[in-house]
Amino acid sequence: MNQQQSSDRATPALPRRRLGRTGLDVSVLGFGTAPLGDLFGLLDDATAISAAERAFALGVNLLDSSPLYGHGLAEHRSGTALRRLPRDEIVVCTKVGRWMDPFHERGSGSNFVGGAPHRAVVDYSYDGTMRSVEQSLLRLGTDRIELLLIHDVDIWTHGADAIEARFREAMDGAYVALDKLRSERVVKGIGIGVNEAEMCVRFAKAGTFDTMLLAGRYSLLEQPALAEFLPLAQQQNIGMMLGGVFNSGILATGAVAGAKYNYKDAPPDIMQKVAQIERVCRAHDVALPTAALHFALGHPAVGSLVLGAQTPQEVERNVTALSSPVPSALWRDLKAERLLDADAPVPA
């Protein structure tokens, strides 16, 4: 770590918030490691690891990973970065619901174009969950994980026909395993990580969860989590992490050709709405991604935004955007044009 990075880490640029009832204080920006698993493109080790190190140097203390990301590669790379600073400085969050089979090669069709060659086995059973945790500890090279989330129990991943069986398996298996680890103080908090607010509600009513990571469903573009789930999270003191606050890219790039929404090319109606939001942002001299970050942090249930990054420069842009001022008139105008839910809380 160079002198500049050491100085940055001594004076963190990012504020921290208490994450629900976990007892953990996390930076308002977390480092999401999906890109470190060769998401959509190959990434060399040095660049991937330096991105994580830069995030830590700028005050990020929350690292979010998953066995799925690069079929273990993201956890391997994260572990290398973790070993270069005191372990107590970082809150590590990873997920269960898949373990990696090293004896069978992975199939085709994954968004992780590189990564490890191992096949992902979907398994929400008790034993499968414990196997997943053990593998993650080995890949991360650590003796503990602060937060464990049940991953991808949603219709997006499994389809409408299979979701009921997956939900039962997760509650009867994965939840029981994680609850045991929590009771033994092996982990500080347990939760779920999904793409659907409705599944967050189901899990919140079925068990006792400390934190949840919801991707894409509370953003400047759309707020389906606002009506039921986020009030429930506040009522139960569930610490919220938000992923996908750029909706797979379109709120970072704007409504340009090839812009991505939900991991695919954005459809015309989404392109149109984003273009309208961009127009209002330009009138207030605010960059679209800056507005997206500030809005997502405006809800009182939200503890941290988990942002993926491939390079140190991307990390720096995210931190800079968060420190850029946003006038309150921007939110007023977005609501006046019905581009933002009238009941959505906004930053002061």
Amino acid at 225: A
Q: Which of 64, 152, 154, 210 is labelled catalytic?
A: 64
130 membership: H or E segment, kind and range: helix 126-140
Four-residue CA torsion sign, 324, 327, 328, 329: negative
* Catalytic-residue membership of 273: no
Instruction: Name residues whose C-beta falls within 8 Å of residue 255's C-beta, 6 or more positions apart in sequence.
Output: 266, 271, 272, 274, 275, 278
Q: Which of 38, 69, 152, 210 is labelled catalytic?
A: 69
**Nearest C-alpha neighbor of 263 from the set 243, 279, 277, 281:** 243
Checking DSSP bridges between strand 239-243 and strand 260-261, what pairing results, if any?
unpaired
Q: CA-based Rg of the chain, rounded to a whole angstrom?
A: 19
* Catalytic-residue membership of 64: yes
How far, in Å, CA of 250 to CA of 261, rounded?
6
9: left (phi over 0), alpha (psi -120 to 50) or beta: alpha
**Nearest C-alpha neighbor of 247 from the set 276, 267, 233, 227:** 267
* Catalytic-residue membership of 124: no
How far, in Å, CA of 193 to CA of 177, rounded?
16
Amino acid at 135: Q
Q: Which of 38, 95, 154, 210 is labelled catalytic?
A: 95
How far, in Å, CA of 244 to CA of 258, rounded?
17
Positions marked catalytic: 64, 69, 95
